[in-house]
Structure 1
C-alpha cells in the first residue's frame, strides 16, 4: 500500500483563502496527502479549519522563528496552543513550524527569543507526543546543541539545506528524525545527490514548501523521480517507502483508505 500515494510533508494551504480554490487544489492531485503547516497562532486556527474539510489533509500548529510574539505572552499563547491540540486530536499531528533562523535575523536578542520559543514548543512536543517540524537556517549547529538536551524527541528537518556532516549529526540524535527534501534540490544537483545517495531511504520525506519554494503543486513527483534515479531504485519502491516514512513520523494509520492518528 502507498506505492501510488505521495505525502507532501510541508505545504502552506493557508495561502489559499478561497474555499473553492482550495477544493480545486486538493482535488487536482487525488493521490496526494498533505501536512498543512502553520507559522503563527492565528494561522494555526486557519490551518485547523482547512484541515477539517479534507480527510487527506493534516495540520501542524506552532510559531515560526521569524514571526514570534513577545515572550511575555508565553503563558497565554502556550495555553491557546494546548487548547487547540486538546480540541483537535487526530487532525493536529505535529508542532511547528518552529525553529531557528539566523539568516534573516542578525541580532543576538532575536536569536535568544527564537531559542526561548523553540524550547517552549519542544515542551509541547514532549507533552503531547507530537513530532516537531523544524525550520533551520544558518542555525544547524545551535539547533543540534539544543536538541541534544532532549533525548527521544521526534521530528522533521524541513527543507534540509545543510552539509552531509550536519545531516549525519541530526540522524544520530536520540529519538526519531527524518530529513525532508524540498525544491532546493533542483538548485544544487551535485550537493543533494551526495546527500541523497548517503541517507537511508527510510529517513527521507519530500515537500514543496508551497507557495514559498514552488508554485508547482506536483513538484514532489520529480523530487521522488530524482531520489529514485540517485538511489538506483525503482520509482514505485521509492514512492512507497517515502510515503510510509510520512505515516511513521506522524503516527498515522490507514484503515480502509481512511487515515487516522
Structure 2
C-alpha cells in the first residue's frame, strides 16, 4: 500500500494544467490533499468525486491568511459539517520571512485547532521556522493527533511531537546530498513516527529535473530512498507506513 500523505493537486489543477494523467494514481492507494485556502475547497471536493483515492483536508495555510472568506472560522466549520474532510489542514505557523503577522497566524491556528478538537479530526501542520510556537499552542489540545508536514526541526522537538501523538512527514528534501540534518532525522527517529509525502508540485526529489512536474507517484522513489537509508526492505517499509497512517487517519478505513 502506498499513500502520499501531503500533495497539492489543487495547485496543479488551479494552474490550468488539467492533464488527466496528473490524477492517475495507479501506483497509489490514497493521495491526501490539504487545502491552502477556501478557494481550494471546491477544487478538492471535485477531485475527490472524480477519483475517490484523492482525499482531502480543509483549512487555512498560514501564508494565505490575507485572502480569508468572511467569517472564516464559521465558513470552515460549515464545510467540515457538510463535506466531512479527512483532517483539518494545512494549518499552522510560518515565520520564515520574519515579517509575518505572527499574532494573526497564532489566532487563526488556535481557532482551527478548536474546530479539529470539536469534530475529532486529525490535523496536518505547517511548521516552518515556528516549531516551538506550534508545540506551545498544541499543549492546549492534548487529544489532537496529526502530521507535522516537512519536518526539519531538532531531535528534541521531534520527540515532543511524537509524545503528543503526531507523525513527522519526510519527502523529497531528504533525497539531496546536502540534506544532512534531514537525513539524520529520517535515520534516527523511530520508524513508527514517520510518514512519507511528496508535497507535489513543490519539494521535488533529487531525480526530478527542473523542467518536470513533481507528482504523487514519486512517493515510491522517496520510499525506496528512505528504505535504503534505514536498511530495510521496501515491502516492510510499506507495511510500517500503512500502520503509521492508519493511526492518524482512521477514517481512511485501512487496518493497522
Q: Same fold (TM over 0.5)?
A: yes
Matched residue, 1:226 = 225
Assess, with a 3 A threshold, how the Cα gap between structure 1 residues 163 and 193 changes in structure 2: closer, same or farther. Answer: same
In the aligned structure 2, how far is the partner of 1:129 from the partner of 1:115?
21
* Cα drift, residue 254 of structure 1: 4.1
Q: Could you list the runs of 5+ residues in structure 2 that have no partner in the other structure?
A: 205-212
Larger RCO (CA under 8 A, 6+ residues apart): 1
Residues 160 and 182, structure 1, Cα contact 8 Å, conserved in 2:
no
User: Cα deviations across residues 68-108 of structure 1 (Å, max 9, x unaligned)?
Assistant: 148894xx22222122112222xx1011101100002425x
Question: Match for residue 111 of structure 2?
Answer: 120
Residue equivalent to 1:141: 132
Instruction: Decide whether the 8 Å contact of 2:175 with 2:225 is kept in 1.
Output: no
1:35 corresponding residue in structure 2: 32
- Write the distance in 2 (CA, Å) between the matches of 1:36 and 1:71: 19
> In the alignment, which residue of structure 1 is the partner of 2:13?
17
Quote how far apart the aligned CAs of 1:30 are: 3.5
Which of the pair is proportionally richer in strand?
A: 1
Partner of 1:45: 42
In the alignment, the residues of structure 2 paired with residue 71 and residue 37 of structure 1 have an alpha-carbon distance, to the nearest angstrom, of 16
Cα distance in 2 between the residues matched to 1:20 and 1:243? 31
Q: CA RMSD in A?
A: 2.3
Q: Give 1:149 shift.
A: 2.2
Measure the CA separation in 1 of the matches of 2:152 and 2:218.
17
Question: Deviation string for 1:180-226 (max 9, x for gaps)?
Answer: 10211123443233212222222111111111212332322222112
Partner of 1:259: none
Alignment of 1:176-187 (within 5 A): 176-187=165-176
Q: Does 1:202 align with 2:197?
A: no
**Residue 240 of structure 2 is aligned to residue 237 of structure 1:** no
- Inter-CA distance 100–195: structure 2 relative to 1 (3 Å threshold): same
More deviation in 150-159 or 217-226?
A: 217-226
